Structure 1
Amino acid sequence: MAKKQPKNAISDQTKTEALKVARGTQKPGQTKEQTKLIAQGIEKGIAEYKKREKQKARERDKQRKQELKAKEKTDIQPTSEKKANNSGLLPWILLGLSWVGFIVFELLKA
């Protein structure tokens, strides 16, 4: 069974990358302990960067979802209003046509 890492644990890949960077910037006469400390600092920096990026991604996702909900609400409202307007206008048109037809019929009859 695999061990669970703590929530804020730094991955092995991040550790190896940090160690490579620390060794790449190593000065002459620098001890292994100093290099290890630099690598740990780099690890923390990478972990903090990833944490911030995840937070930004969550915020962008929340914003996008809110915009989609707002857009859906605005799309739904006008269509229901159009249906109400068209259904309210149709009876008046039919009433007017029936009156015109009645007047024409009476004029032709006389």
Structure 2
Amino acid sequence: MAKNVYQKPSPEIQAEALKIARATQRPAQTKEQTKLIAQGIEKGIALYKKQQREKARELNRKLKRVASQPRPSTEPEDQEVVERIVYRQHWLPWLLLALSWLGWGVYFVVSGGQ
């Protein structure tokens, strides 16, 4: 059988829950109702902390599992990688340069004959 162990919330959690319950208290609400709301808030905080601890434990398990596995080498050590850098220039700047030289040449030929 599984034991259902209920831990009493710490005084800090109780004080925080009571503070929240009082902050949301309605005008006609009794002290008993406020205490019940504070207890509900305490349970919610306890449940949240329990879920966070479970997530942290699961994450630690996964990290240990990954750390214990041998890492496969991403690149083979016996193979040499040769990198070749190819610079390709666009043809448009060269075309514009040639047209401007051609234009200046035509200008000087036409204006030089006068």
TM-score class, shorter: 0.5 to 0.7
Equivalence for 1:58? 57
Instruction: Give the CA RMSD over aligned residues.
Output: 1.9
The structure whose Rg is larger is 2
Equivalence for 2:48? 49
Where structure 1 has 5 or more consecutive residues not aligned to the other structure, the ranges are: 1-5, 86-110
Equivalence for 1:29? 28
Structure with the higher fraction of residues in helix conformation? 1
TM-score, normalization by structure 1: 0.59
Kindly tell me the number of residue pairs found equivalent between the two proteins: 71
Provide the C-alpha distance between the structure 2 equivalents of 1:9 and 1:63, rounded to a whole number of angstroms.
30
Provide the C-alpha distance between the structure 1 equivalents of 2:42 and 2:6, rounded to a whole number of angstroms.
15
Residue type of the alignment partner of 2:71: T
Q: Percent identity?
A: 51
Equivalence for 2:68? 69
Where structure 2 has 5 or more consecutive residues not aligned to the other structure, the ranges are: 79-114
Residue type of the alignment partner of 2:26: K
**4+ residue runs of structure 1 moved beyond 3 angstroms?**
none
Provide the C-alpha distance between the structure 2 equivalents of 1:65 and 1:35, rounded to a whole number of angstroms.
45
